[in-house]
Structure 1
Amino acid sequence: MRLFNRLAIAMPWLGLMLGFMVCSLPLLAMAADFKPPRRGLPGRREGGGTRDPIACIQGNPSQLVALLPGTNLGLTTAAYPRFFWFAPKSKAKFAEFSLYDVNEQREDRTPIYKTIFSIAGTAGIASLSLPSNATMPPLVVGKDYHWSVALVCNPDDRTRDIKVDGWVQRVAPEPRLTNQLVKATPEDRVRLYANNGIWFDTVTTLVEQRCAKPQEAALINSWAELLKSVQLDAIAEQPLMQQCRQ
């Protein structure tokens, strides 16, 4: 009888624990399952370029980092994607984002979007969405674009900029994936994008979820797992700045 009573008391707690584990597993799995494209391109996702970085950067981690897989190439289904990077604590008052159209031989590049904006100099994950207006054409499906972010350490001497750069390619999702996305919950969309190697949409959708539920532990853990899966462990616990879509 005592054994039965103990089991009766323990079963509700066991059910709660199992329920929590079942609810958390999809969120954790969606990040761990990210499959980057095999093709890589030359780039620098961790910052350099200044002659005197110590004079500009004050924090630790001490590098500007583009949120990209190690291949330096991220895929997106969006015509106007959102880009993410980690900005270290610094004395910089401005940052510059640039997007370039590159020819097939990658010998020439033409800037198609540039913007300089003020920053607070605090550490965290920052982002920028391409503007969908008449002066900014949508990304062409199947074309590689080069993008960069720079901390402007000295506006009078741009050789002191700290810069990262990488690549983005817009892809057309296959009909099966499109149908799955239409029916999917936000959590399932993250998993679907991750399983199909669509980096920018994975990150953007997960950030939007964190914006809606900033204190949810499963989302925070899933974010950390996603960054760790692409060897960005050092910034996995850094705070999100401008969490909500801008």
Structure 2
Amino acid sequence: MLSKLTKILTKRIDSKLVTSCILVYSLVLGNTVLAEYRPPADQKPPTTRTTSTVTRTGGCRGDKQTTLTALAPQKHTGQTVSSHPTFAWFVPDTESYPLEFRLYRYEVSGDRTLIQKIQLQSDRGIMSFSLPLDTPLVAGQRYHWQVVLLCNPNRPSSALVTGADLDVVATPHELASKLATTNIPQQRSHLYASAGLWYDALSTALTATNTQQRLELDLLEDLAKLEDISDAHTVKYSSRIRPIIELERQQNTSYLY
């Protein structure tokens, strides 16, 4: 009788121990920053390099430290598997200005067709915008997006413009299987980033953001390293990302004290 009772107690203890270990492992894994962006294996150059259209540094008020910047690859074309992707950019000005989001579709001829123009209001820091449900993107198609900061609506020449190309691709079967196993934003962002899906990785990272963990800044660090090459265009873009990361980290630190 005593031997039987001992076995029952041992089973219960072992069961609780296993459950506790699984819980601890899940918590540790869920709180670990995993995202690391790796470009697509079949990197494709962008059709348009919009960053070069920002002819001056700073914002509308002449802030020399940071510039209106699309948070997307410039050396290669970023990818997404979403029909309604999220786009992100950085606004340097604390004062709010009218802002336009524009989306273009590349035609077979290479020309661009404007398919969406949305009026927004700028907000200092990292801004993001997700396409509305009535504007689905098509897999296999290339698009171009722009953000136009209207410093003075009466003087179009004063506007700041930035943007990037993006390719919409089908979800790889292996990635779909892995995504089905987790709802943890940090893990999902890592899966997207490892698969070379910049827009999906960044979008997921932004949803996981809190004052202690800025997963999107880690992705931007990866992007800055990738863009920091001898090509004058991408080096210039990389030099715009790094001050943004520094400012956002400083702001994050100030929230903690």
User: What band does the TM-score fall into relative to the shorter chain?
Assistant: 0.7 to 0.9
Q: CA contact under 8 A between 2:88 and 2:128: conserved in structure 1? A: yes
Aligned residue type for 1:227 = L
What is the aligned counterpart of 2:222 among 221, 229, 236?
229
Q: Alignment RMSD, CA only? A: 2.7
Matched position secondary structure for 2:51 = strand
Query: Which residue does 1:6 correspond to in 2?
Result: none
Matched position secondary structure for 1:96 = strand
Matched position secondary structure for 1:85 = strand
Distance in 2 of aligned mates of 1:142 and 1:200? 15
Distance in 1 of aligned mates of 2:59 and 2:33? 39
Query: Which residue does 1:9 correspond to in 2?
Result: none
Q: Determine which structure has greater relative contact order: mean sequence separation of CA pairs < 8 Å that are 6+ residues apart, divided by chain length.
A: 1
Point out where structure 2 has 5 or more consecutive residues left out of the alignment. Answer: 1-23, 225-240, 250-257
Between structure 1 and structure 2, the one with the greater Rg is 2
Query: Which residue does 2:14 correspond to in 1?
Result: none
User: How much has 1:114 moved relative to structure 2?
Assistant: 0.2
Distance in 2 of aligned mates of 1:130 and 1:162? 22
Cα deviation, 1:131-177, whole Å, max 9, x if unaligned, reads 112xx2x1110110011001101111212211012111111111111
User: How much has 1:181 moved relative to structure 2?
Assistant: 0.3
- More helix, by proportion: 2
Cα deviation, 1:63-108, whole Å, max 9, x if unaligned, reads 11100123252211111111000011165620111001111232x2
Point out where structure 1 has 5 or more consecutive residues left out of the alignment. Answer: 1-18, 241-246
TM-score normalised according to structure 2 size: 0.71
Matched position secondary structure for 2:203 = helix
Cα deviation, 1:11-69, whole Å, max 9, x if unaligned, reads xxxxxxxx99x9379844423xx11232121313366147xx76823435331110012
Q: Which shifted more, 76-85 or 63-72?
A: 63-72
Give the aligned length. 205
Distance in 1 of aligned mates of 2:54 and 2:94? 14
Aligned residue type for 1:44 = T
What is the aligned counterpart of 1:36 among 36, 39, 55?
39
Q: CA contact under 8 A between 1:49 and 1:159: conserved in structure 2? A: no
Identity of counterpart residues, as a percentage?
A: 28
Query: Which residue does 1:205 correspond to in 2?
Result: 204
TM-score normalised according to structure 1 size: 0.74
